[in-house]
Chains A and B, each alone.
Chain A
Amino acid sequence: MTEPLLRVRDLAVEFDTEQGVVRAVDGLSFDIYPEETVGLVGESGCGKTVTGLSLLGLIPKPPGRIASGSIEFDGRDLVHTSEAEMRAIRGSEISMIFQEPMTALNPVFTIGTQMVDVLRLHKPLSAAQARREAVDMLGHVGIPAPARRINDYPHQLSGGQRQRVMIAMALSCGPKLLVADEPTTALDVTTQAQVLEQIKKLQEEFRMAMILITHDLGVVAETCRRAMVMYCGKIVERAPIGELYAQPRHPYTAGLLNSIPRIHAQRPERLPTIPGRVPDLLHLPAGCRFSPRCERSMERCRVEQPGLDGGESAAACFNPVPA
């Protein structure tokens, strides 16, 4: 049995706000194994991006902080790693790609400069060698005429191309784990298809593990082997992908899957919806956080918070959807 590459236990991330302390991530535990693709799914505000950022030590402090819990990567404790040590890890061992490629890339430097920067930070290369590798990598991610485009500024590239540059930068040092935060959400659907294919290809080639953070259940179905669903800072369900989609146990997962418009042979009837809305993290309900919106909630749910068992499949629910 292989050892997990990443082991997160009871992670809690808090932010100070004017109205009080918000726990964006409240007791997350999960493992990621080498070379696997895991989806971290949820809607806005569920804490998935904060989870991704905490893995790379990118939580802005202040106003945020990792309040408790542990993140163990390749045997190393990342929570208590210094910033200097994190800089060495970011990019070379764990990399991240972000949703908005225009804001993630520095607009006043050419992409060549930015890529060479990353390469020389982590590898003992001369400027010329680094540049050659960068051109190579650009070609690898499907940028046409890479030797020419390497001198472009981010604004001279399309959204899809910028995203590919970001992927090239993230992969240039061969990290073991890639955290991809909504990598294709900002892209057109045809470009999204291209970029996802690219990411899959590169992941296999570089033998990386990937955490794909997204709200798009379609993207998860097509790229991940297993997935974790988040709601209000907690994981509410985790399962291998086939099982999660065919037989969701948690009512929130089931509700989400049912409410996605899909293309049918004939025009579908009214879309099922989840009534109500996501609670304010400052005013969380007692008991299960989903219970106010849940058709299956019982007395117990309003008072007690369900826990999440270990194992490949689990749902944090006292009254899960029957098989």
Chain B
Amino acid sequence: MSPIAGGSWKGVTLTELLLQVRDLQKYFPVRGGLFRRVQAQVRAVDGVSLSLETGQTYGLVGESGCGKSTLGRAILRLHEPTAGQIRLDGADITQLDRQAMLPYRRRMQMIFQDPYASLSPRRTVAQTLREPLDLHRIGTRAERDARVHELLDVVGMGPRALNRYPHEFSGGQRQRIGIARALALDPSLIVADEPVSALDVSVQSQVLNLVADLQRDRGISFLFIAHDLAVIQQVSDVVGVMYLGKIVESASASAIYAAPKHPYTQALMSAIPVPDPALQRTRIVLGGDVPSPRNPPPGCPFHPRCPQAMDRCRSEVPTLKRPAGTEGGHLVSCHLYD
């Protein structure tokens, strides 16, 4: 197997930050009226900063509309950021043109949520897996063919899959093909956007184990996006909780699961149905609905639903920072901790 470009490989760790995102914004204009003027902005990603080390997994969790998918795509420049900076291995890739981006695109890949929509129905598995290799002109044709075989093997599928079309496979298998495709160029970073949400539980666990294996054996960093906190815990080293375009809490996985600080994180953890009928617990049930990013509330975006909202929360926007009097990497965006 070829060595990973710019990452770590079997015990040789580089503790350089692989990915640094600073104050990233992605706004979508809402046009209307006779002249299709911009009437408002949907602030899908509203000032997000995060960093990811080599071989680490950052679990990004949040509910629908919070901006997590948009953030994942913006980092890969599938959406052009409105503002902010993205650095891959120290290099600023935010504004690079298409040509200059090419070598970086090899190092960042994506796995999509919908295993039914993310594979072209008109291409065989072999064609789908060869495409990135052909585009980037990796090796000779024979070497590309060999690589395609290898990729399928890594994701636990046999060579008979090569000449089949996506519709011949189940959701879990298609997801594996999507993972194989993401691995084709030996990326350092994979953005996995809800890769298991559409899968049944028994298949989900197979795919999650595969992701964990890839991270451990190949030192790939993952930005793992999901809405399921239990899934996130299974794979993440660091966790960031998103709400309405902002990260409201971020910490190591162990810290956040042991003691979530932000009221939204606490509610999120509490809301997950636990498959244990013997467990007695008091649930935090949030009032109201998840708001739309087109019309975020003033002050703290969470205040209308927050069981602990104070006066200040209605007018002052909190910032993501260390709670007063603490050390370490656990950050919260909440006035309760000022």
Contacts and interface: CB of A to CB of B under 8 A. Distances in A.
Interface of A: 43-44, 158-161, 188-194, 196-197, 215-222, 241-242, 245-246, 255-257, 259-268, 270-274, 277-278
Contacts of A260: 201, 205, 230, 275
Contacts, number: 133
Contact of A267 (B200, B208, B227, B253): B253
A190 B277 contact: no
Given A221-B274, A221-B275, A278-B200, 17 more contacts: A160-B289, A190-B267, A190-B285, A193-B271, A194-B285, A242-B277, A242-B278, A259-B202, A263-B269, A264-B257, A266-B254, A267-B254, A271-B234, A273-B202, A273-B205, A274-B205, A277-B170
Nearest to A275: B206
Interface string B240-280: 00000000000001100110000000011111111111100
B233 A263 contact: yes
Contacts of A219: 273
B63 interface: yes
Nearest to B200: A43
B203 interface: yes
A194 B273 CA distance: 12
Given A189-B227, A194-B286, A197-B285, A245 B200 contact: no
Interface in B201-220: 201-206, 208-209, 212
Contact of B276 (A221, A255, A261, A272): A221
26 contacts: A43-B202, A158-B289, A158-B290, A160-B290, A188-B63, A190-B271, A190-B290, A191-B63, A193-B283, A193-B286, A194-B285, A196-B273, A197-B285, A215-B200, A216-B273, A218-B274, A220-B275, A221-B277, A222-B274, A259-B204, A261-B231, A262-B274, A263-B272, A263-B274, A265-B257, A265-B258
B163 interface: no
Contact of A217 (B208, B231, B234, B275): B275
B223 interface: no
Interface centre among B231, B233, B269, B273 (most CB of A within 10 A): B273
A241 B277 contact: yes
Interface in B138-183: 170, 172-173
A277 B204 contact: no
B300 to A, nearest CB: 16
Contacts of A261: 204-205, 208, 228, 230-231, 233-234
Given A188-B63, A241-B277, A272 B200 contact: no
Contacts of A221: 273-277
A273 B209 contact: yes
A16 B100 CA distance: 55
A198 to B, nearest CB: 10
Contacts of A242: 277-278
B229 interface: yes
Contacts of B64: 159, 188
B275 A257 contact: yes
B258 A264 contact: no
A191 B286 CA distance: 8
Contacts of B277: 221-222, 241-242, 245
Nearest 10 A/B pairs, CB to CB: A218-B273, A188-B63, A259-B205, A43-B200, A261-B230, A193-B271, A271-B205, A217-B275, A273-B205, A221-B277
Contacts of B203: 277
Nearest to B213: A270
B251 to A, nearest CB: 13
A218 B202 contact: no
A274 B285 contact: no
A132 B270 CA distance: 36
A161 to B, nearest CB: 7
Given A43-B202, A193-B283, A221-B276, A262 B290 contact: no
Nearest to A196: B273
Contacts of B206: 273
A192 B230 contact: no
Contacts of A44: 200
A220 B64 CA distance: 23
